[in-house]
Chain A
Amino acid sequence: MLLVFGLPLGFSLYLSAEGWSPDETLFGGRYAGLANYAALLTDPDFISSLILTLGYTAITVTAELLLGLGVALLLDLELPLIAFFRTTLIVPMMMTPIVAALCWKLLLDPDHGIVDYFIGHPIIWLGRPWPALISVGFVSVWQNAPFVCILTLAGLRSLPNEPREAAAIDGASVLQTFWHVTLPLLRPYLLVALLLRVIFEFRAFDNVYVMTGGGPANFTLLLSMYTYQASFVQFDLSLGAAASWVMLLIALIACLGFVALIGRRETR
């Protein structure tokens, strides 16, 4: 296990500190110290990509949590046919992300897309900076809110009923019960969903790749896309490895938060 992961990671650290090109032997590169990192941190594209990714992650995850929680609360009601809704509403989550993005590219097409037909006039969604970014984020929310929904629904259904009933008997309104009783009880589930989604949105790639390719003018160039282009389009693998390590360190912070959370529960 350590070999499978540790080896590539160690090699990546080595790569990031080398001037290396693919036609050389594995260890044939010249030691370049922190030059690759310096190049990275002075690249305005990288800096804007970093800021963009953090903002994108924050906003999509917030939207996913709110929507997912809302849907979960609805699906928790005991109504006839609710099982049907529970099964069908999570379909987007199962879809291959590439296919989902491709479908939305067709739906958002300015000439023949159904979205613009409903709006009534053609909008060029993917060709202009802000609409493109919003579309890319929207597809991710559409696809992943069901995941948050599943996790919180599982949480809701495992909660004891008594506190909520007691609150209702004491005269609390539906909103008060939700805010002061249900939400605190749900907190561990929401935290898990939050961290998992942060980890996954931070690496967002498929939707950007298919829908905009990072454009227009790098406006949707998220970090994964930046690293991909550096490594496999410009074939500057050393720069790519350096960018990878910056991503790794940021992801690690989120991971450690997650591990701390799980660890605390384990010891209980």
Chain B
Amino acid sequence: MMARRRSHRRNRLVRAVVAYTALIALLGFFLFPLLWILGLSFKTRLQTFASPPLFIWTPTLHNYVAVLGTGAFQHAFMNSLLISAEAVLLSICVGVPAAYAFARFPFAGRGLLFMSLLVMRMLPPIAVLVPMYVLFSKLGLTETRVSVVLAYTTFSLPLVVWIMRGFFEELPRELEESAWVDGASRYAAFRFVVLPLVRPGLVAASILCLLLAWNDFIFAAVLTNDATRTLPVLMASYSGDVGVDWGSMTASCVLVVLPVLLFSFVAQRHLVAGLSSGAVKG
């Protein structure tokens, strides 16, 4: 009996050691590349190209100062920020009422409309982009932020409707009905009873829209010009001259990714809830 318990305990120990080894190897696989890039962004030109590579050095902030001081980067950062914010706002304002309608009003063709919404979200962007580009350029919108904002909204709207419908459906009808009995209008019940209760859903949907807009490249590459270009477009324009200025390149990489990473860490619980409710529970 004693021997068996001891071997059982040894088994568990072996399993834990194996698991940790695997986890640490995976951590290296997924994170080391990023840490190395982070490290490069704190190196001078000489340190970057040192051979063999330096694993210990005195960090410098020089690259960040240089990047943050360039007009092109500041401009693209502001564009990215404004475009993402506008796209999120528009998607939420249109998508949330639409999702509420899907969840509460049984209208003809509801199921079909919902499914076609889903399909639209899944179509390859490049396929929608060709006609979008032609239409926007004929309307004279390719010179403005409006075109990109509209493009992002078309893709994040289905996402918002999809996530929010799930949240609305989980809410018992009786809550609204009792508000109506107390004399609240349909709108007041929606605004003051329903909306506060689906706040986690709103947060998740907004974050996913934000990620979509901030991280997108293909729409921005086609629909923006020098004045409206976003960060990913600016970054891609660097890719032609790899080998020139690794310092500012890596520093800009960090600056583009950092806001999203910080943001998603803070809101991770909501994000996972949104991802799994949007994609799995439905």
Contacts and interface: CB of A to CB of B under 8 A. Distances in A.
A46 interface: no
A9 B34 CA distance: 39
Interface string A141-172: 01000100011001100000000000000000
A91 B34 contact: yes
A102 B238 contact: yes
Contacts of B22: 74
B126 A224 contact: yes
A151 to B, nearest CB: 6
A244 interface: yes
A241 interface: yes
Interface in A57-103: 71, 74, 77, 79, 85, 87-89, 91-92, 94-99, 101-103
A178 interface: no
Main secondary structure of the interface of A (DSSP, over half): helix
B253 A99 contact: yes
Interface in B182-230: 211, 214-215, 217-218, 221-222
Interface residues of B, number: 79
B246 A106 contact: yes
A56 interface: no
B134 A22 contact: yes
B122 A258 contact: yes
Q: Which of A94, A202, A237 has the most CB of B within 10 A?
A: A94
Contacts of A192: 279-280
Contact of B246 (A112, A203, A256): A112
A109 B243 contact: yes
Interface stretch (B47-55, B67-75, B170-178): B47-55
Contact of A8 (B49, B132, B282): B132
Contacts, number: 225
Interface string B131-146: 1111101100000000
A50 interface: no
Nearest to B18: A74
Given A206-B217, A231-B130, A259-B115, A85 B23 contact: yes
B93 to A, nearest CB: 14
A122 to B, nearest CB: 11
Interface string B106-121: 0000000101011110
B279 to A, nearest CB: 6
B81 interface: no
Contacts of A95: 34, 215, 257, 260-261
Given A94-B261, A107-B36, A79 B20 contact: yes
A103 B39 CA distance: 12
A88 B276 contact: no
B218 A206 contact: yes
Interface in B226-282: 231-232, 235-236, 238-239, 242-243, 246, 249-250, 253, 256-257, 260-261, 264-265, 268, 272, 275-276, 279-280, 282
10 contacts: A1-B98, A5-B120, A11-B131, A89-B30, A105-B239, A109-B242, A154-B272, A206-B217, A241-B130, A244-B129
Given A85-B23, A99-B256, 12 more contacts: A71-B26, A74-B23, A77-B19, A91-B261, A94-B260, A97-B217, A99-B257, A103-B253, A105-B239, A114-B53, A154-B275, A259-B119
Interface of A: 1, 4-5, 7-9, 11-12, 15, 22, 26, 71, 74, 77, 79, 85, 87-89, 91-92, 94-99, 101-107, 109, 111-112, 114, 117, 142, 146, 150-151, 154-155, 188-189, 192, 196, 199, 202-203, 205-206, 209-211, 223-224, 227-228, 231-232, 237, 240-241, 244-245, 247-248, 251-252, 254-256, 258-259, 262-263, 265-266
